[in-house]
Every structure is written in structure tokens, then in C-alpha cells.
Amino acid sequence: MRPLEGQVALVAGATRGAGRAIACSLGEAGATVYCTGRSVRGRPATGQRPETIEETAERVTAAGGHGVAVQVDHTVEEQVEALCAQIRREQGRLDVLVNDVWGGDELTEFGQPFWRLSLPRGKLLLERAVTSHIITSRHAVPIMLERDRGLLVEVTDGDSFGYRGNLFYDLAKMSVIRLAFAMAWELRRHPAMTALAITPGFLRSEAMLEGFGVTEENWRDAVAKDPHFIASETPFYVGRAVAALAADPDVAARSGRVFSSWDLAREYGFTDVDGRQPHWGEHFARTIGPYNKADAAAYASWRNGPMDLACPDWPKE
């Protein structure tokens, strides 16, 4: 029942939300999980949010794994390099890398057209949400390559080409999907190395629950404010999805594509913590509909088909 026993994972951006739940789910499967982020006890990095990486690591251990908290700003290469050196020194391996760093909530200006957006805020958002993923992969993947196997997961928002409501937000979330594809292509000669992207649905994160003025116990009360909340899911839904992917011996067949918590739940047979299997994709299609049917069809064909590796080889060194 602990398929990841003996494996080592790094969840970059594990302070709260999906990152915390992914770390805990990997721990529940038996993994040693390095939980990184900027917020530590006594020094919150995101406003006055109370969550810390120490608390996440403790929850990983309580779930059955071994949690290790390391304060890291993933936009600072020296800190990421030191983290990876620590993992190599202490563990000698890395099996799973989850890039979940975001840090863009306070920077996203929803409701503003792109010609009115703050460029400094947008540039900082992209540095936090995209550049940080590149920096982390740059230094973590070489540890995986030492054993020539591993799973790299990019956490995004949405598995469609639909516009996400803000230029910089949309660019960040689509960019990490493209990162998964690009890294999968460059890793194509390493058949046991897998890079993919994953999205949760309408996430009942700590901040979302607080924003609606509800708790996990009475979350349905928020449906009166937003009827789409009925199809929401806890962060553990995508956490269990990542754990299922990490335990799948055939996960390499998924390399280069984007997957959703709701589709993987039906495929692997797991449920959310309340026993439900919410399906945001079906709810969206039924209540909101695709932005553009032609784009949706083209995207579905790409997402569900094999990754196209029919590209010229790299020049020989």
C-alpha cells in the first residue's frame, strides 16, 4: 500500500494549496518529500497567510512518509542549487519533481485588458510562475539523470486553450504546459524519464475557502455565491493524481501531455477525501461550454494523442 516507499520527491511550492496536498499524498504513498517554499514559521512570505513549509513537512510525516522542510525562493538560482546539492548529499537520488511554484495571486489583475496591465507586476508574475520552474528543473533533473529515470510534473490551471481571463495569468499557465512538452521532447532519448503537466479543477484551497467565508466542513454553503462551486474539489484530488502517476510503471507513455485530476481519478480509480469524484471538465462543458468548438476539437486531438516526436535530431556535439 506504499508504492513510493524508498523514493524521494521534491515539491517546489509546497506551502499550501495543491502543492501541500501533493506533498502529503506522496508522503502517504511512502515517499521522502522535500517541501520547499518561502513561508516559514514567524516569517510569512505571502501576506498574512498562516501556512508554512514546516507544517507541510509535518503533515507529510504524519501521513506515513518523511517530510523535509527547506526554505527556498525558487527564483534565486543559488538557493535552488544549494537545495539540489542537499538532496544529492542526503538522499543520493531524486525520483519525482513537482513544479508548483506560483506566487501570482496578488499580482494578477483580473478584469483589466492587457493594455492597462502593470508591466512590473506582470514581469514579476512570470518570473515567479515560469522562470522559477525552469531554474528548478535545470538543477533538479540532473539528479534524476544520474539514475536515468524520474517523473517531472508541471502544475498548471486548465487543460484547454481557453483564455484564462488575464494576459499574464494565461501566459503563465499555458507556458508551464509547454514546458512539460519541451522538456519531454528533450528527454526523449531517456525512456524512463517523464515530463508532463497536470491541472486541478475548481480548487477548494485554504485561500478559496476563506474567500467564500466557509470551511471544508460546510463548503457547500458557498454554492449560493457561486453555483460552479458544487463541482469543486479539495487539493488532495490533484495530490492523489500525482501520487498515482508516480506509482504507475507505464507513466512514460504520458510524457509531454497535460492531464486533469478529474480524468485521472476515473482512470486510476481514486476519489477525493470525501469519497466523491467531481469532474470539472464535464461540469464546465455542461454549464459554461467551450470557448471555441474548433479550437476545442483541435486541442482535444493534440491532448489525447501521442506526443509528436517527429522533429529533427539535435546537432551532434
- For residues 175 and 303, what is the distance between their CA atoms, to the nearest angstrom? 15
- The three cell numbers locating residue 173: 499557465
Q: CA of 202: how far to CAs of 37, 127, 235, 238, 242, in Å?
A: 23, 24, 9, 11, 17
Q: Tell me the CB-side half-sphere exposure of residue 297, using CA atoms within 13 A.
A: 2
- The three cell numbers locating residue 71: 526554505
Report phi then psi at 260, rounded to 5: -120, 155
Is residue 299 annotated as part of the catalytic site, yes or no?
Answer: no
All residues at 6 or more sequence positions from 184 whose CB lies less than 8 Å from its CB, including other chains:
194, 195, 196, 255, 256, 307
All residues at 6 or more sequence positions from 214 whose CB lies less than 8 Å from its CB, including other chains:
221, 222
Which helix H or strand E contains 165, and what residues bound it?
A: none
Q: Are strands 66-71 and 96-99 parallel, antiparallel or unpaired?
A: unpaired
Under a CB-based contact definition with an 8 Å cutoff, are residues 215 and 275 in contact? no
- The three cell numbers locating residue 246: 508516480
From the candidates 34, 163, 169, 237, give the one annotated as an active-site residue: 169
Q: Helix (H, G, I), strand (E, B), or coil: what is residue 306?
A: coil
Residues catalogued as catalytic: 169
